[in-house]
Structure formats: C-alpha cells, structure tokens
C-alpha cells in the first residue's frame, strides 16, 4: 500500500518535471511546479501514515501554504513581465542570456 502511494507520487513528480521542461507558457510551467509540489505532499502524507505520527501531514500543510505564497508572488512577476514585454512565454524572457 505504501509502495503504491509512493509510486503514484513519483509518477506525478515526473509528469510535472516534463511539463516544466516542455511547456512554453509561464503559467503552465507554474501549474506543473504545483503538480510536483503536490507529488511531494503525497509522499509526506504517505510517510506520516507509515510512521503513525502527524509530522508529515503538518509539513504537507506548510508546503501548501508556502506554495500559495509562491503562486501569488510568481503570478505578480509574470503579469509584470507581460506588461513590459507583451508576452508570457518563458522563451521571450531572455535578458539574462549572454
């Protein structure tokens, strides 16, 4: 049972990773990051269940709160970039390239 949950968590993490690598719109990249965070949360809750204490569930709760804060700031940054460069594509924000 624990193995099944952890395998599901690993699969979701891999799907999120391929989304971050392959998608071009910054907001969809954000969604895939959220997917990866959720996969980690599932692993935390599974381990909490496995060991019979609540610390894993609490850390999953903290991860959710931090992810909410991250979404707020990240979307503000994306909207600001869109305002100046008229594009939400991650390929267009290339000023840091040499």
**Per CB under 8 A, does 85 bind other proteins?**
no
Q: Minimum Å distance from CB 38 to other proteins?
A: 5
33 binds other proteins (CB under 8 A): no
The position carrying tokens 């700031």 is 73
| Distance from C-alpha of 41 to C-alpha of 91, rounded to nearest angstrom | 30
Q: List residues binding other proteins (CB under 8 A).
A: 1-8, 10-19, 21-28, 30-32, 34-35, 38, 41-42, 45-46, 48-50, 52, 54-55, 57-58, 60-62, 64-73, 75-80, 82-83, 88-91
């Amino acid at each position: 049972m624990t193995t099944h949950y952890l395998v599901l968590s690993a699969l979701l993490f891999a799907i999120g990773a391929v989304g971050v690598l392959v998608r071009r719109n910054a907001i969809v990249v954000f969604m895939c990051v959220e997917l990866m965070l959720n996969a980690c949360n599932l692993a935390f809750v599974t381990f909490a269940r496995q060991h019979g204490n609540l610390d894993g569930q609490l850390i999953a709760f903290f991860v959710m709160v931090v992810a909410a804060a991250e979404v707020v700031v990240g979307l503000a940054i994306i909207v600001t970039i869109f305002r100046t460069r008229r594009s939400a594509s991650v390929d267009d924000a290339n000023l840091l390239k040499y």
